[in-house]
Structure 1
Amino acid sequence: MFKRRKYFVLLSILLVVTVILSACGSKTTGGGDSGKDELVVAQGADPKSLDPHGSNDQPSSRINKQIYNTLVEANEEMEIGAALAESWKQVDDKTWEFKLRQGVKFHNGEEMKASDVVFSFDRMANSPDVAHIIGAVESVEEKDEYTIIIKTKEPFAPLLGHLAHTASSILSEKAVKDAGDDYHSKPVGTGPFKFVSHESGDRVTLERFDDYYGDRAKVQKLIFRNIPEGTNRTIGLQTGEIDIAYDIEPIDVKTVKGDKKLSLVEGPSLSTAYIGFNTKKAPFDNVKVRQALNYAINVEEIIEVALEGGGTKATGPINDEVFGYNKSLTGYEYNPEKAKELLKEAGFENGFKTTIWTNDNPVRVTIAEIVQGQLKEIGIQVTVEQVEWGAYLERTAKGEHDMFILGWVTVTGDADYGLYALFHSTQHGEAGNRTFYTNNEVDKLLEKGRVSTDDSERINAYHKAQDMIVEEAPQLFLYFDTQKVGTQKNVEGFKIHPAGHHRLGNVGIGK
């Protein structure tokens, strides 16, 4: 029924986009030597904030990854290794000791010390955006200038994964206090790149930090461009204005693969796409309505049309690459007659009117239109509303929506992060549970999975929780995706990170 619109009058669009891109920055890799010390990266949205304690969205995290460091970090194989902490040991079930690297400099010239780590964790704990990420931490104490002690409330198996999250970045206490409320526009980290400027809606410019404790960045300047339309990101690659384009859309995959100047880099993802129901509002407070909509939507058609076949139907709430994923889940089959039966049982035989929100992501807009058409077939009238990204996050956190389309990246690779934030009753709103789902039994299972140090016990708890979540359907489970990044052929050293926060310090431009 629905077809992705191929961009028509390609030459006209190409000329327009070239003018826009050229007006915003010089060509970096299309020829000559002038751009080889500058890397331009395009993504689909502006960062919410360059304060890592004030944001947990993907566009922000991708940039913050370059500015800041965490105590430990996960590499491209999701193996935990040293970062600002050079070593650590577990003292007992609830106590960890971390030895910090000495001589690490912040971008303001100050040396990082234990007091900055303590300050940063106190700040995280008071942030509505990221407090849940370190919610298991009871205290962080300074043992000496280069040693900290972290105590958790209970044994917490996935602690190191949470400490590797970009939201657990370590900030300069002095820089934060000097900047006050303006810190988000004056970020200071310890990463391979330091902040230069943020032109809202257009670009963030970073430059190499020569006093970085690790290997010096390969390029002098790193620019993140905000280009919402995926096809325009691809055209930017073709014209040479962009070196790396994140999130290549399905419609553009063949274009990138067929261009001899470009490369398509594909890799695993830890993300899940879903449609959330506001379970606080009628009729979505009725489980039969939520189940009916899961039966009413042909997800395979969505994958075929919106993703051009480039996805896998989700059977539940977390990606199949995540520790604790329940392989026995089968999800919901497409069965509109079953959907009608459930609506009748719920008292909505004649359907109802509702809205579905999306931001301006073209794939999500297409999904919303497909859902609108499919739900019309069972008597549900859906209005599609596009909401600006920042307002989208803010308003869904407040629960102003009926239905919304979003994705979740289980950054830590552990089911705790993919389930606790989205389905525990203490995480309503900004923390991640934008469906406002509440189930005491699920809460208990998720809590058990957190505190157990036995992998089999944790897996069992997470499997049971997923069974209940799928049954109660606070979400319409869509698909698991593969990451697709387009690059110039002469881009060297780029690697896909499963969390989507790709490390760019080792990326350079060859001849």
Structure 2
Amino acid sequence: MEEEPMEEEEMAEFEPMSVAAEDCDYGGKISSIEAVDELTVVFNLCKPDPAFLAKIAFIPFGIQPAEYFDATGGTGEILERPIGTGPYMVDEWVRGDSVIYRRFEDYWGEAAAAETAVLRWNQEGAARLVELQAGTVDYITNVSPDDYEAVESDPNLVLIPDFNPNILYLAMTNTFEPFNDPLVRQAVAMGIDRQRIVDNFFPAGSEVASHFTPCSIPAGCEGEDWYEFDPEAARELLAEAGYPDGFETSIYYRDVFRVYLPEPSIVAVEFQTQLRDNLGIEAEVVVMESGEFIAESTDGRLDGFYLLGWGADYPHVTNFLDFHFGANNPQFGDPHPEIYEILEEASQIADPAEAAPLYEQANNAIKELVPMVPIAHGASANAALAGLEGAYVPPFGAAQFYKMNPGDDTLVFMQNNEPISMFCADETDGESLRPCQQALETLLEYADDSGETVPELATECTGNADATVWTCTLREGVLFHDGSTLDANDVVATWATGIDAANPNHVGNTGGFDYYSYLWDGLINAPEE
């Protein structure tokens, strides 16, 4: 008996999606994002953004299926199991222990070398090194400065310098007294011996910060250098502000090793000591859980000093200045128009050299207003087993597990801390972004040896003459981990979830979607405060 030929299932007609602001009066950069056809997405901006290509290569803008956002409502499962197009797919997140990845056999690009990748974590640098020496992990991040020599002298290990630009800063929130007084903030700026901190608690190659932005970033160090250490002048300013005997406050931090803060507990006590000895300020040291610390500091709810830092996400001065000092960031309290108005003007100029006079003004305003005190640009290094083929640290973004070959079926990578969530559209912490980057992909990515953007999910993204319209052409036939095929609507849905506060899937982990807000000058349909 002959079987009847099955009729081919009729393909659903593509219905292009879009997200748009009512107009550009809301103040943000995104006017609309439109799917023109299955493989073409157009971004219309309200104002030029020369850093557009560098920004869209950043992992918080990793693409997931439109249907997944709708199925999860932007919360629940999507916080723990991203569905991307990357070389690895998330198999399981064992809370408190590890994230386990499986090789995605239908990956469009180069297949992952190891069938399984395991991400583990340990806050103690010495414990990470012990595991590496024992061979139970293949790669560790952030080798403790005291252990550099041990790694370099061990023929079974290799030390890998990390050249990611970064900054440690001592922050204050100007909506809490006495930090609402610029004289107090200036006194703190002069009363901290930053050189002593770098000399005693940072590895060789670290530098005292002359500016908030590292000088390796074009136009980052325009303007005057930061204040010299002058405790006598600092005490005079405190007295002028009405605090001749100092005041009582707190200094908050999280006990998590970072390139910009390699010894958090010890450094926190050092700041406590200097504030007391140099300024008469009694600051109680308060350690916070990492996720709570990020949430409270991000929203400007910490009433004392706090220690935080930043590693470059993309190679442009806007990544340091616009994020931290823009009009929409409440981290330091009420934003300063003397800073953000200049930054908004500068961010629309393509050539950093042409924009340099504006960045000079902005940096000088930061020095005068002191929303925080820039402390140090930290040097750092990771380490790996000598037999791990392809071990590396990129200058921007995270190392990709699939590019490293352990010589067997499983790669084990150890970082400092557990991810907060894996819905990276709504995360800012680097140890949440790293696990996302193994599964998610963006329209463009950063080259391994530079900050240049190269094609990833888009074969090209081209802008018009004034950098206000960007057209991205997608790769054809790219599959998500759930078997669905990437199209332009997935790009629109991903961005709509993050940029549109009225989108039903705009839920996330914290609900802040900070990178969408800060990098694009605000969310569409943001609720009025």
TM-score, normalisation: structure 1: 0.71
Deviations 1:318-341 (A, max 9, x none): 122222212553212222112111
Are 2:273 and 1:380 aligned? no
Q: Which residue pairs with 1:173 in the alignment?
A: 66
Output aligned runs, 1:47-126, within 5 Å.
none
Instruction: Go from structure 1 to structure 2 and tell me whether the alpha carbon gap of 1:192 and 1:135 turns closer, same or farther (over 3 Å shift).
Output: farther
Counterparts of 1:463 and 1:218, CA distance in 2 = 47
Write the mapping of 1:105-504 to structure 2, written as runs, cut at 5 A.
Answer: 135-180=28-73, 181-182=75-76, 183-361=78-256, 363-377=263-277, 378-401=279-302, 402-428=304-330, 434-504=331-401
Give 3-state SS (helix, strand or coil) of 2:70's partner: helix
Deviation digits for residues 91-123 of structure 1 (CA, Å, limit 9, x no counterpart):
xxxxxxxxxxxxxxxxxxxx9x9989x67x88x
Give how far 1:391 is off: 0.7
Instruction: Return 258-267 or 385-394, whichever deviates more.
Output: 258-267
Runs of at least 5 residues in structure 2 that lack an aligned partner in the other structure: 1-10, 22-26, 258-262, 409-529
Aligned CA distance change for structure 1 residues 454 and 238 (closer, same or farther; 3 Å): closer
**In angstroms, what is the RMSD of aligned CA positions?**
2.3
Give, as a single letter, the amino acid of the residue that structure 2 aligns with 1:384: V
Deviations 1:395-420 (A, max 9, x none): 22332311111111231111112111
Partner of 2:466: none
Deviations 1:202-221 (A, max 9, x none): 21111111111110111111
Q: Is the 8 A contact 2:202 2:379 kept in 1?
A: no
Shift of 1:444: 1.4
Distance (Å, rounded) in 2 between the aligned partners of 1:327 and 1:445 = 13
Residue aligned with 1:217, SS = coil
Residue 33 (structure 1) aligns with: none
Deviation (angstroms), 1:267: 3.1
Q: Is the 8 A contact 1:251 1:307 kept in 2?
A: no
With 210-219 and 169-178 compared, the bigger mean Cα shift is at 169-178
SS in 2 for 1:451: coil
Deviation at 1:500, TM superposition (A): 4.5
CA distance in 2, matches of 1:500, 1:305: 29
The structure that is helix-richer by fraction is 1
- Alpha-carbon distance change, 486 to 193 in structure 1, aligned in 2, over 3 angstroms: same
Cα distance in 2 between the residues matched to 1:289 and 1:211 = 58
User: 1:459 Cα deviation (Å)?
Assistant: 2.3
The one-letter amino acid paired with 1:360 is D
Pick closer, same or farther for the CA change 1:259–1:114 going to 2, 3 Å: farther
Other-structure match for 1:51: none
CA distance in 2, matches of 1:375, 1:239: 42
Most deviating of 154-163 and 334-343: 334-343
Task: Report the Cα distance in structure 2 between the residues aligned to 1:203 and 1:491, rounded to whole angstroms.
Answer: 20
Gaps of 5+ in 1: 1-110, 126-133, 429-433
Q: Which residue of 2 aligns with 1:32?
A: none
Name the SS of the counterpart of 1:426 in structure 2.
Answer: coil
Which residue of the partner structure matches residue 54 of structure 1? none
8 Å contact from structure 2 (residues 256, 290) kept in 1:
no
- What are the Cα deviations for residues 274-310 of structure 1, in whole angstroms up to 9, with x where unaligned? 1111111111111111111122111122112221444
Native 8 Å contact 1:114 1:148 kept in 2? no
Q: Which amino acid aligns with 1:493?
A: G
AA aligned to 1:380 is I
Partners of 1:437 and 1:458 in 2: CA distance: 25
501-510 vs 156-165, greater mean Cα deviation: 501-510
- 1:473 and 1:369 mapped to 2: Cα distance? 22
Query: Do the aligned residues in 1 keep the contact of 2:157 with 2:384 (CA within 8 Å)?
Result: yes
Deviation at 1:460, TM superposition (A): 2.1
Greater shift, 307-316 or 233-242, is seen at: 307-316
**Equivalent residues of 1:303, 1:310 under 8 A apart:** no
Q: Counterpart of 2:282 in structure 1: which amino acid?
A: Q
In structure 2, distance between residues paired with 1:454 and 1:240: 48
Counterpart Cα distance in 1 of 2:15 and 2:173: 41
Equivalent in the alignment of 1:53? none
How far apart in 2 are the matches of 1:150 and 1:193?
Answer: 28
Distance (Å, rounded) in 2 between the aligned partners of 1:289 and 1:164: 39
Secondary structure at 1:187 match in 2: coil
CA contact (8 A) 2:145 2:202 kept: yes
Counterpart in 2 of 1:507?
404
| In 1, Cα distance between equivalents of 2:194 and 2:168 | 11
Aligned partner letter, 2:161: E
* Maintained 8 Å contact 2:209/2:377: yes
Secondary structure, aligned partner of 2:403: coil
Contact 1:179 1:186 in 2 (8 A): no
2:255 and 2:290 in contact (8 A); partners too: yes
Greater mean alpha carbon deviation, residues 491-500 or residues 181-190 = 491-500
Q: 1:196 and 1:327, CA in 2 relative to 1: closer, same or farther beyond 3 A?
A: same
CA distance in structure 1 between the aligned counterparts of 2:185 and 2:345, rounded to whole angstroms: 27
What is the one-letter code of the residue matched to 1:272?
A: I
Corresponding residue SS for 2:170 = strand
Q: Is the 1:321–1:413 contact (alpha carbons within 8 Å) kept by the matching residues of 2?
A: no
